[in-house]
Amino acid sequence: MTASNLIDNEAGTLSRDIFSSEEIFGREVKRVIAPAWSYVGHTSQVPNSGDFFASRCGVERVIVTRDPSGAINVLSNSCRHRGMPVCRYDSGNSADFTCSYHGWSYALDGALTGVPKFRELYQGKLEKEKWGLIKARVSIFHGSIWATFDDAVPAFEDYIGEDMLFYLRTLLQGPDGEDDGYEVIGGIVKWQVPCNWKFGAENFAGDHYHGYSHLSVERLSVGTSGKKSRHNFAADKTARQPMFLADPARGHTIRASVYREVPEYTVQEAASDEVNDYYRKAHEEKCRRLGDHARLLIHGGVIFPNTHFNSAGRTTIGVWLPISAARTEVWRWLFVPRNAPAVVKDTLREYYLRYAGPAGLVEQDDMENWTAAQRGTEGLMSSKYPFNYQLAMGLERRARPDEWLGRNVTITENTTEHNQRVFYAHWASRMEQQP
């Protein structure tokens, strides 16, 4: 079956099989997941020479290291001899990695440096320079670390595209508008959800229709706004226009708002004076630095295919790691402003913990719904009846209110499923390509 039989862009429908078929899953790992730049972590996790942490790049297990030259490496965590993970730890500091099977050892840049009985048993002939750990192509963007093992994938800047580079850069700016303004707090949050990875991806790509999912938390106050809402921007006084932006050539999507004018600082009633003081000053600084661009509020989005982020006062970046058609592992990094006082960092941290992840009052209901949606892809009859993605079809446009919002993106004001349609159209075009 070709991808074009699975997705009907004209009709705004797609086959449920793309969530449940293991055969399609096998192909999409090769054609969609592997030929992509993936977020693998942040430079603040490896400040010193020898620092490392385990990560994933699509379906590959990797080690992210900082070597003595200061360079960051993303290495396949698999010994070239028999495939053992050469690093058995989730994080730490080490001068090298020694495989636990036969003892080959590798430097922090992946070079094979030690082979037991090299002279006696290999007669000194093993070409060590050919048997180093497989190295990913790496790109560092304002502190974030990206990797791919695919040589055919365009350079990072071209893969992300000029428009999404702007949004990604903005995402990584601190509350004061300073570039590379964030650091990761200790502990990557990891959990598994029994659903296809695309349910998470399409939700983050642009589902603002699912307010119903979160009614139970909207009655509580979980943000710092003091309002009964999960979002801090609930307290904003300045009017803003929600916008859904998508890059059809690359499949990336952004959820954002643009304030009608550069917004006033909104006091967060439930936060302490110290926290408000920090954010008020940061807000002024940001407006000074960014000018008109300070009108932009990023809510979240997806860097195609499986890197996702959430923002709007809570900056997190994560990846949907495909395990099987019906199982996904999620890794999530939580960010706090690098230069903020401890009390600010902690206020934010607590907000994440009660909002996001498996213990988060908000995201619990997302995971529940995606798991339930997965069940709707299981029966035989379900193949005949596609899912509906027709919401606000045809309302997207290329003309934009402000030129700086991007030259190549489509923009839809108000709730739409256009971003999901762009995500799946790009998915289909990748599936059609020969690997």
What's the min distance (Å) between Cβ of 86 and other proteins?
Answer: 14
Q: How many helices (H) and strands (E) in the chain?
A: 11, 22
Q: Distance (Å, rounded) from C-alpha 327 to C-alpha 367?
A: 12
Dihedral sign, CA of 258, 259, 264, 267? negative
Residue 101 interacts with ligand FES (CB under 6 A)?
yes
13-14 and 296-303 as β-strands: parallel, antiparallel, unpaired? unpaired
| 47 touches other proteins (CB under 8 A) | no
CA gap 264, 283 in Å, rounded: 8
Q: Which stretch binds ligand FES (CB under 6 A): 28-36, 76-84, 281-289, 365-373?
A: 76-84
When asked if residue 364 is in the footprint of other proteins (CB under 8 A), the reply is yes
> Closer CB to ligand FES, residue 77 or residue 232?
77
Structural contact between residues 205 and 252, judged by C-beta atoms closer than 8 angstroms: no
1, 23, 102, 394: which one contacts ligand FES (CB under 6 A)?
102
Give the residues across from 145 on adjacent strands.
41, 140
Query: Least distance to Fe ion from the beta carbon of 417, Å?
Result: 15
The answer to whether residue 292 forms part of the interface with other proteins (CB under 8 A) is: no
Site for other proteins in 52-91 (CB under 8 A): 88-91
Does position 366 interact with Fe ion (CB under 5 A)? The reply is yes
Q: Does 154 bind other proteins (CB under 8 A)?
A: no
Report d(CA 173, CA 425) in Å as an integer: 30
- What's 397's DSSP letter? B
Bridge partners for 428 per DSSP: none
Q: What is the DSSP letter of 33?
A: I
Nearer CB in complex with other proteins: 240/354: 354
Helices in 376-434 by DSSP H: which ranges? Answer: 418-432
Q: Would you count residue 193 as binding other proteins (CB under 8 A)?
A: yes
Q: Tell me, by CB under 8 A, how many residues bind other proteins.
A: 42
Calpha distance 254→303 (Å, rounded):
9
d(C-alpha 180, C-alpha 281), whole Å: 18
Q: H or E stretch including 280? A: helix 273-290
Closest CA to 80 of 65, 64, 94, 101: 101
Q: How far is the CB of 205 from Fe ion (least distance, A)?
A: 12
Shortest approach of other proteins to residue 17 CB, angstroms?
A: 22
- Rule CB under 8 A: say whether 422 interacts with other proteins: no
Size of the site for Fe ion (CB under 5 A): 1
Using CB under 8 A, which of 132, 194, 226, 242 touches other proteins? 194
Q: Does position 81 bind ligand FES by CB under 6 A? A: yes
Q: Note whether 104 binds ligand FES by CB under 6 A.
A: yes
Query: Radius of gyration over alpha carbons of the chain, in Å?
Result: 23
Part in contact with ligand FES (CB under 6 A); list of ranges 98-106, 176-184, 229-237, 397-405 = 98-106
- Neighbour count for residue 258 (Cβ, 10 Å): 19
User: Footprint of ligand FES on this chain (CB under 6 A)?
Assistant: 79, 81-82, 84, 99, 101-104
User: Footprint of other proteins on this chain (CB under 8 A)?
Assistant: 88-92, 185-194, 213, 215-217, 219-220, 222, 329, 334, 345-346, 349-350, 352-354, 357-359, 361, 364-365, 367-369, 371-372
